[in-house]
Structure formats: C-alpha cells, structure tokens
Structure 1
Amino acid sequence: MPLPKPNLYPPFNIVRLSHVEFVVTDLALSRTFYVDTLGLQVTYEDGETITLRGLEERGHHCVVLRRGGKPVANSLSFKVYDEGDLDKAHDWFKAQRLPVEWVERPWQGRTLRTRDPIGIPLEFYCHMDRLPPIHQKYKLYRGVSPLRIDHFNCFSTNVDDSVAFYNSIGFRVTEYTDDAESGKLWAAWMHRKGGVHDMAFTNGRGPRLHHTAFWVPSPLNIIELLDLMATTGYLANIERGPGRHGISNAFFLYVRDPDGHRIELYCSDYQTVDPEHEPIRWDLKDPQRQTLWGAPAPRSWFEEGTFFAGVDVRDAELKAQPIVAP
C-alpha cells in the first residue's frame, strides 16, 4: 500500500510527544531503576506516585510512575500548541466516533482523553507546570543522563491503518519497512517535532506499547550505563544493544525496568523538519534495517511489550516475519 500524502495542515496542531504513565508494582524498585540507575530527575513523590523529568526538560514530568498491582501503561500523552487546538482535537475525535472526555491531571491544565482506532489510550494537553532549568547543573548528571523523552513505539495489528490515522492528524513518515510480498507496511516511523519520530508502529500483537525512548548526550553515556547495570544487579535487564540502527541512524540500547517495561536509550538521529522531506524505505529482510552492523534483534524484542490498561489485544493481520536472532 502506498504511503499517504503528508498532511501539512492537520485539524489541530500537535507539538510533540510529552509523557507516559506507567503502573509499577514496587515503587521503590522502580525509583532505584529510573532515578539512581538511568538518572531521571524526581519532580514529585509520595507513597503512590513518582514523577520524573529529563535534564533538558522544563515541563513538570515526562514519566509518571503509579503504584499498582499489574504493570501496564495508562496513557501516552502529547502536547498541543494552544487551548484552541484542544477544542479542535475534542471535536475532531468526536467526529471520528472515538471516545472523548475531559480529565483532571495534576500539574496540567485541561486534558483531553481519547484513543486511536486500534485502542491506544491518548491524552492531549496544552499547559503543564514549568520548572526551572537544570541542564547546566552538571552535578545532577548520572547514569545515562537522560536529556528528554524522545519517542514511543507501539505494536499495531495493522501498520497501514495506523499510519493513515496518524497522518490525518499531522504526523509525517520519515522511514518505513514494507513486506515485498504483500506490499503492506510492517513498521513506520512518524514525527511531529522534527526528529525521526515521536510515534512509531511495529507489526505485532496489539495494541501494546513496545518501548519508550529517551534522548541521551552521546554513545559514551550508553556504554557507561552498560558498565553500571552490569555491576549493580541489572545484567538480566539488558535486552538488546548497544548498536546503531539502520533506520534512524541512531545509537541505541534497550533495557527493561523491574516490571518489564521496555526503555530505549537513544541518540544521534537526524533532522526531518522540511515539509518536503522524503521517507526512506527499508526491506523487511535487510539485515542492516534493525542494526547497521547487521546484528539481529532477539525474539523478545518482537514478541513482548507493555499492555495498555483495560485494552484487549489481538493478533497482527500481517504474518510476515523479520530476521530474528537465534
């Protein structure tokens, strides 16, 4: 199926991805992982909730950790340009016969909750409490020194349909993988903020959250994190990498938090802001697609992911298989 023509004048203006809310079963263990090991900064904590931000971020949080009995993701959140865009988003999703409700969220202004057609829970807001800058407080840099949240990747049962939907609200494809036999999309990377992606889709059992990624200063920070994790009890949490993706050209590492939520540490992709930017195509069987150096991903990377709270999953419609590590 051909890619849709980019929609440069969407019905409302999404600035970027904003934050994810995870349910975790042990808040203390999660704090040790996200704060003491990865290096995210605490902006609020009590016995039920911890909020975190990256070192370059001025918004109150990019991650919300909530204590609960089952590890799931409650929502993926996006920032819109102004309050008028929130109203436009409400009316647009309602016109698509998708559920809409205004919800209260701490540290945020009006927040719209909805979902996409395959069931991914989405929230949109304009205003979040602002915090003083800390990017030059270098004594705070530790772990992998995450600077900011970068993207989400979700399993989709039909990547063509997901691309068509997100294209309609202004996300633009930067790179994609298709299956030569069927002509259907197997994966796609889509952006709002001018990097390779804010949102990506991978063919698979879904909808589920595949991973949340954080931008880090350099590949050296990732190597230092590996040394730290390997000597502080987190060896089994290292899932894939380090390496350089063919898609996006980014240097990467995938790790799992204590509840299995997948986190990518990521840097060095490229600018895609020009409206005439042309997407890059990759064949599903190209070994450099996953990793520029040719190393295939483990089976867990294609099969495991975080469930969304209250959302049923189903098998992917496309049965094509990528190269998988033995």
Structure 2
Amino acid sequence: MGVMRLGYVHTRVTDLEEARAHYADTLGMRLVTENDGRLYFKAWDEYDHHSVVLEEGGVGLVKLGYKVERPEDIEVFEKRIQSFGCLTERMSKGENFAVGDGIRVVLPSDHVMELYADMEFVGTDTGSLNPDVFPRHLIGVGVPRLDHALITVEDPDTLERFFAECLDFRAAERAVTTLGDDSELIGSWMFCTNTPHDIAFIKGPNGKLHHFAYYLNGWSEVLRAGQIFAMDDVSVDVGPTQHGITRGETIYFFDPAGNRNEVFSGGYQTYPDFPTITWTADQLGKAIFYVSRELNDRFTSVLT
C-alpha cells in the first residue's frame, strides 16, 4: 500500500494560448487533449494520460493529484485523513478527465489534493518494446516527467504530521529556526518514493503555490534548458545553480501567467530508513542556493 508519485498538477493561467505555447513549444510537453476549456499535457517519458492541466481564469494552483498503488488504498487513506480532521469527498471515474475513482481532500494548508489509483494509459513516446533512450524529435527543453511541487502553509508542523500520519510520507530534510526545544519548523521536504521530495512546503500563506518541477537527466540538460529559455524570452527567477537542500541542480522560471516552474536534476536517493537532514535558519541561503548562499526577495515572496 502507498502513494506512488505526484500524478498531476492543475493550475490556472491568464491566457490559454500563451500557456499552450510555453508548455508545448518551450517545455516540449505533448498536448494530449483539449476538453471543456482545459489543456491536458504529458511529458515524453510519462505513460499516463496527463500530468499538467491548464485552465484559463487567473493564476495559481487548482489542485494536486497523487497516484496510489491500489484502488483499495484509497479507503484506507480516506479513514486516516478523516480521523486527522480533514474534509474529504469521493470523486467518481470521469469527474476528472481520464482519471478513475478517488477522493478529494482539503489539506490543513487549504490546498486541494486528490488521491486516485487509475488513469487512462497512453504510453511513453518511445514505447515499451525495444525503446530508444529518447524521442528523436524532441521540442524545446523536452522535459521527460513531472517531479514535485512546493506549496506554502501557515502551520508547517501540522501539514508535516498530516503527510506522515495519513499518507506515510517521510521527511528527507527540514529547515528549522534553531536547534532546541523552542525551535519552529520553517519548511519540510517529504518523500514517498526514493527521491529527496515528492512534496515540499515552506511557511507562508495557506493555499499558495511556490512552484512545480520537472526532472531532467543531468546538469548539461539543465544548462540547455536555460539556453532554450533565453531563446524564448522566458522569465528566469534563479539559476542555473544548485541547492544545498536535496543537492539538486536547478533553474526556476515563470510561465506566461506568472506561475513558477522549475527544471531539476540530480539529488540523492532516499529509503525508508533515510535519516532526516536538518538545516537551521542562519544557513538558509546556503540551503536553498548553495553556490551564491543568498536568497532574493522575489524567490520567497512571489507566490500564485
């Protein structure tokens, strides 16, 4: 039993056609379906129907979808979540395009999360029989898959307890104000797979999105992504650089609506017995941007 991965991110954008160009031509995602005013995209190495949903009407996060291992897991998680005190509702197959039965949860951070076990299978662009290592005609960055999301929350301790107690996530890294009994949690990077984070959250207003990220296969691909962003006049926030937290190599950038995206590579592997790494507030610059060891105001204040 378990949560397997971040399955989809559903966001709002201000202009659907501008967003279409960004996610298709710059990031290289494939538009699988356009339905009821929404665009459904998948990356080339993803086999489910979609991983990004865009709808017009402002900016910010509509919901996150996490895929669980088996249909019967949903009832187990539902009972845990209700015991924790969070609101849940059942969702039926087809209520979300191409997604099966599941539950919808309002997190302690006021974000909406959906848990589901089935999504329509589309297959990767290289197939599963004698596949090539990547598609011959990649467009733009050619992102292979969605990786993680970072959200903000007024009470990080409660959200960390929720993911641990209800969904069996573990904290790979934590940022705290100081060491000792009076310490307060600033942020947590939690995993359900073997990556440094499948969800992360930092202290801030409830209901806000900081970014969602795509995984790339190495530093050279991160650098090439930066070159593509320059060609396409994409607004870059920070990078290319490296994190102290997760050790990942990164570029943060904005879609045309102002939602922050990230391309991410590297990092380390996690396991059920992985010991949590702790960072203190006086080292946050180094923790977030290891090379420059400085945080800019925009990175911590621009949310959608």
TM-score normalised to structure 2 length: 0.90
Identity, % of aligned positions: 25
Given residue 277 of structure 2, which amino acid in structure 1 is its aligned partner?
Answer: I
Q: Secondary structure at the match of 2:80?
A: helix
Q: How far 1:206 sits from its partner (Å)? A: 2.4
Instruction: Note if 1:283 corresponds to 2:272.
Output: no
Mapped partners of 1:64, 1:111: distance in 2 = 18
Q: Secondary structure at the match of 2:282?
A: coil
Cα separation, partners in 2 of 1:176 and 1:96, compared to 1, 3 Å: closer
Offset from partner CA, 1:167-190 (integer Å, 9 cap, x none): 112010101111117411111100
Mapped partners of 1:73, 1:58: distance in 2 = 23
Q: Secondary structure at the match of 1:252?
A: strand
Query: Paired residue for 2:139, among 136, 142, 157?
Result: 142
Given residue 44 of structure 2, which amino acid in structure 1 is its aligned partner?
Answer: L
Mapped partners of 1:158, 1:83: distance in 2 = 31
Instruction: Note if 1:268 corresponds to 2:256.
Output: no
Q: How far 1:222 sits from its partner (Å)? A: 2.1
Residue 108 of structure 1 is matched in structure 2 by: 99
Q: Secondary structure at the match of 2:237?
A: strand
Mapped partners of 2:149, 2:100: distance in 1 = 23
Q: Secondary structure at the match of 2:299?
A: helix
Mapped partners of 1:158, 1:205: distance in 2 = 9
Mapped partners of 1:120, 1:151: distance in 2 = 15
Q: How far 1:42 sits from its partner (Å)? A: 1.6
Tell me, yes or no, if the aligned pair for 1:145 and 1:217 is still in contact at 8 Å.
no
Tell me, yes or no, if the aligned pair for 1:16 and 1:80 is still in contact at 8 Å.
yes
Given residue 277 of structure 1, which amino acid in structure 2 is its aligned partner?
Answer: F
TM-score normalised to structure 1 length: 0.85
Mapped partners of 2:186, 2:79: distance in 1 = 31
Query: Paired residue for 1:63, among 52, 56, 60?
Result: 52
Q: Secondary structure at the match of 2:240?
A: strand
Offset from partner CA, 1:267-292 (integer Å, 9 cap, x none): 0011102x211011112222321122
Which stretch of structure 1 is more off in the superposition, 224-233 or 212-221?
224-233
User: Structure 1: 5+ residue runs without aligned partners?
Assistant: 1-11, 307-326
Cα separation, partners in 2 of 1:202 and 1:97, compared to 1, 3 Å: closer
CA-atom RMSD in angstroms = 1.7
Cα separation, partners in 2 of 1:142 and 1:121, compared to 1, 3 Å: same
Which stretch of structure 1 is more off in the superposition, 45-54 or 112-121?
45-54
Alignment of 1:86-97 (within 5 A): 86-97=74-85
Residue 151 of structure 2 is matched in structure 1 by: 154
Mapped partners of 2:104, 2:294: distance in 1 = 37
Residue 6 of structure 1 is matched in structure 2 by: none
Residue 202 of structure 1 is matched in structure 2 by: 202
Which stretch of structure 1 is more off in the superposition, 24-33 or 129-138?
129-138
Offset from partner CA, 1:62-117 (integer Å, 9 cap, x none): 1001122x223110110111111112222332333322222211101102111112
Q: Secondary structure at the match of 1:139?
A: coil
Instruction: Note if 1:129 corresponds to 2:120.
Output: yes
Tell me, yes or no, if the aligned pair for 1:177 and 1:188 is still in contact at 8 Å.
yes
Residue 256 of structure 1 is matched in structure 2 by: 254
Aligned residues: 291
Instruction: Note if 1:240 corresponds to 2:213.
Output: no
Which stretch of structure 1 is more off in the superposition, 146-155 or 37-46?
37-46
Residue 77 of structure 1 is matched in structure 2 by: 65
Residue 215 of structure 2 is matched in structure 1 by: 215
User: Structure 2: 5+ residue runs without aligned partners?
Assistant: 127-131
